[in-house]
């Protein structure tokens, strides 16, 4: 049996371990932290008895690699899929996007025409943009060199169509601003998530804390995979991994470390930068919404997820560079105020 060593226990490292372990390889994974999942994990609330996700993570039915990973661990049934996407305006008016009976790519036609958050001009512009994606995705050669915003402006998208439709979908999916997002990536989101299959857009939300998806019980299905926590890889070179001063060798090696860690282990680091995402947790003393999830229009908060009967909400801001300097103290005060009062959901 060939042996594989993996550095890093985030989703990339875990997915590699599951695929290789299920394929007959002997796998050892080394993770510096005392838990798996990297940034896609959970933690206990200080001073409380709740376990909450670091930030809400979702998937679509078109995310076939992530679904394959969950299936290998036997936890796919712990992901609940929703067929409706609610667009919520300030004041509470809702527009619902759901597939109808027409085949893809026309399955949203009926619901799209009824969306109250867009006017006729917006809808016409969006329809023109969707048709252009179908037409240009394989023909146009400059999609890596122009931003998605530039492409949308080329296609005469209205400001409201950009803000209430294209940006809401794309920034949440790619975690990057339209100005910094290559048009090819925007095309991929809409082709795979909206056009290729009628059910591809359905949103999957884990029904348990993320850390439970990768827990010890799940890995018992793959006995050839062994996890080493609190075991940082100190160096990677032609002779293998160095872990706690001991050299580890194998037939194959996979480095799934964050790019900023590569220099520390002796590898060249690419010129990448992070695009932050912010999660806000709010607890109320009563139910404030019955919606399971919604995208919030014209707000800093882009998505709302109902985690516990409308009393605990998790809000998400993707590409949240403007919030990175907010102090933990401000966040704690915000959370305390949310616990003490109840307000209408117009965030």
- At 338 the pLDDT is 41
- At 45 the pLDDT is 84
Hey, which bits of the chain come out as E strands?
A: 3-7, 26-30, 42-44, 51-53, 59-60, 79-82, 85-88, 94-97, 203-206, 225-228, 233-237, 240-243, 246-248, 252-255, 277-283, 293-296, 303-306, 312-318
Domains by residue range for the chain, with CATH: 3-78+208-265 (3.50.50.60), 93-201 (1.10.405), 277-340 (no CATH)
DSSP state of 157: -
- The ranges of the chain with pLDDT < 70 are 327-347
- At 269 the pLDDT is 87
Residue 10 CA to chain centroid, in angstroms? 13
List phi, psi (to 5°) of 278.
Answer: -120, 135
How many CA atoms does the CB half-sphere of 174 hold within 13 Å? 23
Give tens-digit pLDDT for 30-48: 999 999 999 899 988 887 7
Give tens-digit pLDDT for 280-337: 999 999 999 999 999 999 999 999 999 999 999 999 999 998 887 776 655 554 444 4
Burial of 189 (0-12, 13-18, 19+ CB in 10 A): buried
How far is 140 from 253, CA to CA, in rounded Å? 37
List phi, psi (to 5°) of 37.
Answer: 110, -15
Strand partners, 28: 5, 226
Give tens-digit pLDDT for 214-238: 988 899 999 999 999 999 999 999 9
- At 329 the pLDDT is 53
- SS3 state of residue 307: coil
- At 80 the pLDDT is 96
């Amino acid at each position: 049996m060939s042996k594989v060593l993996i550095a890093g226990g985030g989703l990339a490292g875990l997915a590699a371990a599951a695929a290789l372990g299920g394929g007959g390889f002997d796998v050892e994974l080394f993770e510096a932290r005392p838990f798996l999942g990297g940034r896609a994990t959970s933690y206990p609330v200080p001073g409380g008895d709740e376990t909450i996700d670091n930030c809400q993570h979702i998937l679509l039915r078109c995310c076939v690699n992530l679904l394959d990973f969950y299936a290998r661990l036997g936890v796919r049934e712990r992901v609940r899929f929703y067929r409706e996407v609610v667009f919520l305006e300030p004041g509470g008016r809702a527009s619902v996007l759901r597939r109808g009976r027409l085949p893809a790519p026309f399955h949203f036609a009926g619901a799209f025409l009824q969306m109250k958050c867009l006017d006729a001009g917006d809808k016409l512009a969006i329809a023109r943009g969707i048709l252009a994606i179908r037409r240009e995705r394989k023909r146009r050669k400059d999609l890596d060199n122009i931003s998605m915003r530039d492409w949308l402006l080329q296609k005469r998208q209205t400001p409201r169509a950009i803000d209430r439709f294209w940006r809401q979908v794309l920034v949440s999916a790619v975690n990057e601003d339209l100005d910094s997002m290559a048009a090819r990536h925007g095309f991929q989101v809409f082709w795979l998530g909206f056009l290729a299959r009628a059910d591809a857009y359905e949103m999957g939300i884990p029904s348990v804390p993320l850390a439970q998806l990768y827990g010890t019980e799940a890995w018992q299905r793959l006995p050839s995979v062994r996890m080493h926590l609190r075991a940082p890889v100190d160096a990677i070179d032609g002779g293998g991994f160095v872990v706690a001063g001991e050299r580890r060798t194998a037939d194959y090696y996979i480095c799934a470390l964050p790019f900023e860690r590569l220099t520390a282990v002796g590898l060249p680091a690419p010129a990448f930068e992070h695009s932050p995402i912010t999660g806000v947790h709010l607890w109320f003393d009563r139910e404030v919404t019955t919606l399971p999830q919604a995208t919030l229009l014209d707000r800093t908060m882009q998505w709302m997820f109902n985690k516990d009967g409308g009393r605990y909400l998790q809000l998400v801001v993707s590409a949240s560079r403007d919030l990175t300097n907010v102090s933990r103290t401000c966040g704690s005060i915000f959370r305390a105020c949310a616990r003490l009062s109840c307000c209408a959901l117009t965030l």
